[in-house]
Structure 1
Amino acid sequence: MRFKSSLRPLLAASLTTLATGGALSQDLPRPDLGKLLLTGGVSAFEGSGGGGLTPWALITGYGTRNSYGGNIHYTFFDSGDYQVKSPGVALGIADRFELSYAEHKVETEGGALQGVTVRQNIFGVKLKVLGDAVYDQDSWLPQIAVGAQFKDHQGIRGLGGTTKPTDLGAKKNRGTDYYVSATKLFLAQSLLLNGTVRLTKANQFGVLGFGGDREDRYKPQLEASAAYLLARDWVVGAEYRSKPRNLSIDREKDAFDVFLGWAPNKHLSVVLAYLNIGPLVTGAPGSPINPKTQDGYYLSVTAGF
């Protein structure tokens, strides 16, 4: 069964509920908003709670262990050659379990790939398994979470007879990333550090499918984030994410960003960043169509509780 057929009605209902502020069930308590500002993270562009580029061990939303929280979010990235538009929704339960969904729509804006669009759906789950980033200040132990992102490619349009990633040499059109994240919050120093190890076959985050002619096996990739609280509601930081090199047609390189975040309250956060994802190309080996580095501004807005 395809993910979208079974989960889209549930996701639509969740979006409606989050947008109207209604209770998920008459039997559930109202969200308590009990966590500290920004300790639910912001919304990563793949939907999970964390930074913009990589998930953190923090559970999305401001609900404590006796409650729940969630959000709707929208992310936009413009590199000049490509635009990425990504709406999504996330729900955190008892500050331990997280469900998320994001859609990626990639549109080309010029050059040989003008008019090409790519879509994929990303369904995420995350479970906190150890530690507490806020309350374990007297311990060296970070908060640790495990998670998975199920990526379902929706096809390529505007590229002639090429309609799916396997037409470009990918082994599969859908795949799953598995990750472990460790997050340590130093309240006295206003500093957050995060490290993530991801097992993935994804090409360009899944936009070009999974596996390829060079590699078709899970390989660990490293991700890291550092964030510093400038004031109670302002945060600045940087992130790094390594990526595999599975396809000969794509000169994939690692990604990084530098970001500034603002959270005026627990219902709204805005992140503005410079993001560099490296080249994103399609073409024969040695003759890439668009080999230049793709970088530009990244904007993400999250509304929730």
Structure 2
Amino acid sequence: MKTKLITLTAVAISTLAVADVNAGSRLIATSGVTQLEGGAGGGLTPWAVISGYADEGEYSIGAFHTSTDVQDFRLKVNGVSASYDNRFEISAALQSFEIKGVAGDLRQEIYGAKYRIYGDAIYSALPQVAAGIQYKRLLDGDIADAVGAEDSDSGIDYYVSATKVHLAAVAGYHFLWNATLRATQANQMGLLGYGGDDESGYTLQPEVSALVLLTDDLALGAEYRKKPDNLSAFDEDSFSDLFVAWFPNKNVNLTLAYADLGSIAGSEDQDGFYFSISSWFK
């Protein structure tokens, strides 16, 4: 599964990045970038926007790769997404989490779906609102069992997001904000299982993003993601980042970010850079 998904992602990105294709009717950058769990949004948190540039009656398919490197860990994510009618989105992603100096990766599959309930991020007075679900399946659960996770097999996250673009709102620049509320049991997004000895049930966690479009194709922004602290063995900190996203055309997005991931599995002060490339065909 891992090899097939990575190969499919690489082929799709290389094909779409060089193709001269009709990428859909929506304005550039309204796709967002691709979130670590596979959906459209920022790097850390999903937004209410739908992946790609498909508008009413159109479809979009895409692929992405993200690589994050901090002091003691590396995270690589490969995935694909599809959307229709600027209304419905599905995605699949494979996370591979490497503990530096230790053989083998922790791997997690994530299958997501999102539905736009109301509004348009640009054209409606109220924010665009969407609801999503992420089914997570941990392929390597031994460490999750060892640290006290209640479930080392699978978990489900539910979320609601609201996204709004304010045109020429900040010194003449377009401004976007997003607020997400997630119901989750996941430890470190699920890489350390779901639930724990301190907290086993679902908790509500806020996630926020904001960005300014410096030009039509260049965005500067920041994100914050609160996470549950379910395990007595380790403290789990919030995620945050500062990012630059470039949209040279509707087929490709490149994102570079500085991420502060806090304490991960007892290793303190984990921060570093991540790079992500996403590509879409209408």
In the superposition, the TM-score normalised over structure 2's length comes to: 0.90
Aligned equivalents of 2:225, 2:129: Cα separation in 1:
18
What is the aligned counterpart of 2:92 among 84, 88, 101?
101
What is the aligned counterpart of 2:67 among 76, 79, 101?
76
Q: How does 1:136-215 map to 2 (within 5 A)?
A: 136=124, 139=125, 141-155=126-140, 163-173=142-152, 174-189=154-169, 190-215=174-199
Deviations 1:193-233 (A, max 9, x none): 00000000000110100000000111100000001001111
Aligned equivalents of 1:165, 1:109: Cα separation in 2:
17
Structure 2 equivalent of residue 243 of structure 1 = 227
Aligned equivalents of 2:8, 2:272: Cα separation in 1:
34
What is the aligned counterpart of 2:256 among 266, 272, 277?
272
What is the aligned counterpart of 1:49 among 19, 26, 40?
40
Aligned equivalents of 1:125, 1:251: Cα separation in 2:
30
Deviations 1:167-196 (A, max 9, x none): 321111210000000001112320000000
Aligned equivalents of 2:10, 2:160: Cα separation in 1:
27
Structure 1 equivalent of residue 276 of structure 2 = 300
| Structure 2: tracts of 5 or more residues without a match | none
In the superposition, the TM-score normalised over structure 1's length comes to: 0.83
Aligned equivalents of 1:222, 1:108: Cα separation in 2:
27
Residues 31 and 68, structure 1, Cα contact 8 Å, conserved in 2: no
1:20 Cα offset (Å) = 5.3
Structure 1 equivalent of residue 245 of structure 2 = 261
Aligned equivalents of 1:154, 1:130: Cα separation in 2:
36
Structure 2 equivalent of residue 38 of structure 1 = 29
1:125 Cα offset (Å) = 0.2
Aligned equivalents of 1:108, 1:267: Cα separation in 2:
33
Residues 40 and 62, structure 1, Cα contact 8 Å, conserved in 2: yes
Q: Quick check: 258-267 or 12-21, which moved more?
A: 12-21
Residues 19 and 72, structure 1, Cα contact 8 Å, conserved in 2: no
Aligned equivalents of 2:253, 2:66: Cα separation in 1:
12
Asked if 1:123 corresponds to 2:142, the answer is no
Other structure's SS at 1:205 match: helix
Question: How many residues get paired?
Answer: 272
| Structure 1: tracts of 5 or more residues without a match | 22-29, 157-162, 282-289
Q: 1:216 to 1:209 in 2, by over 3 A?
A: same
Structure 2 equivalent of residue 132 of structure 1 = 120
Other structure's SS at 1:65 match: coil
| Identity of matched residues, % | 41
1:73 Cα offset (Å) = 0.4
- Look at both structures and tell me which one has the larger radius of gyration over its CA atoms: 1
Aligned equivalents of 1:164, 1:296: Cα separation in 2:
24
Other structure's SS at 1:34 match: coil
Q: 1:14 to 1:243 in 2, by over 3 A?
A: closer
Aligned equivalents of 1:210, 1:237: Cα separation in 2:
30
RMSD of the TM alignment (CA)? 2.3
Other structure's SS at 1:187 match: strand
The runs of 4+ residues in structure 1 deviating greater than 6 Å are: 8-19
Tell me the amino acid that sits aligned with residue 152 of structure 1.
R
1:151 Cα offset (Å) = 0.5
Aligned equivalents of 2:255, 2:234: Cα separation in 1:
29
Asked if 1:218 corresponds to 2:194, the answer is no
Q: 1:10 to 1:238 in 2, by over 3 A?
A: closer
Higher relative contact order (CA 8 A, sep 6+): 2
Residues 237 and 261, structure 2, Cα contact 8 Å, conserved in 1: yes
1:80 Cα offset (Å) = 2.0
1:13 Cα offset (Å) = 7.9
